Amino acid sequence: MAKRIEISGLDAFYGRTRAIADISMAVEPRQVTAFIGPSGCGKSTLLRTLNRMHELTPGGTVEGKVMLDGTDLYGAQVDPVAVRRTIGMVFQRPNPFPTMSIYDNVAAGLRLLGRTRRSQLDDVVERSLTGANLWNEVKDRLDKPGAGLSGGQQQRLCIARAIAVQPQVLLMDEPCSALDPISTLAIEDLIATLKESYTIVIVTHNMQQAARVSDVTAFFTITDAGEPGRLVEMDDTNKIFTNPSEKGTEDYITGRFG
């Protein structure tokens, strides 16, 4: 299978502090890849390098390569804004635009791209909300504020907003950590559906969630306080959780550290 994302020799820095070191890995298309590991090992930093959001952080720099379908995302001629449109992001806490309606939240990215014809927007808003499994819940109140939805609905609204611009990849940074168990299950079910159309990379501290939703799991850790995070092991999720190759992976999964 062709690789959707290929990372080689990647280091990420905050100023002079190296957060992750020498990361090399590949992400397959139309699969869910989970990043797991203890706090501070650089999972979210790595995720943010994949769509060039890391460099928006003061002092954030990257060395190495991130390739998307053979294109170096950090190449001199590559537009970072176009990268972020191609590789969407769903954050830990739902972040609908507070002053916008449900409809306008979903349509926001399309309008930035110059697509303003109402009939066209109507079609994409309905398709995106349907894709996020939210349409039936909100179709009669699209003019109401997005911030008025429940936490789980807000997160699905943010997913609808992300997929409205038709990205190739969806990044999810602990998308369920602020949600109740029922909303978490709804998001997990949605991830299983979305992977039919998108490549998904998710950061999670929930081992059970990683085991439930992902096809491939990558375990990261830090050797000592202040050291950068490193990739320890990456394999099929079933193998990682039942027969990992590295003792450190087993210790983390079984709760003996981290």
DSSP H or E run through 151: helix 151-164
In percent, the amount of the chain with pLDDT more than 90 equals 88
The radius of gyration computed from the CA coordinates of the chain, to the nearest angstrom, equals: 18
Average pLDDT over residues 96-117: 92
Average pLDDT over residues 78-104: 94
Question: What pTM value is reported for the model?
Answer: 0.93
pLDDT at 201: 98
pLDDT above 60 (res 258): no
Residue pLDDT, tens place only, 22-42: 999 999 999 999 999 999 999
CA distance 40 to 24: 19
Pick the closest to residue 88 from 53, 62, 113, 44 (CA basis).
53
Local confidence band at 6 (pLDDT 50, 70, 90 cut-offs): very high
Residue pLDDT, tens place only, 237-249: 999 999 999 999 9
Structural domains in the chain, sorted by start: 5-97+168-253 (3.40.50.300)
- Token pair 């020799």 is found at 9
Pick the closest to residue 50 from 92, 83, 96 (CA basis).
83
Local confidence band at 257 (pLDDT 50, 70, 90 cut-offs): low
pLDDT above 80 (res 21): yes
Residue pLDDT, tens place only, 198-227: 999 999 999 999 999 999 999 999 988 778
pLDDT at 32: 98
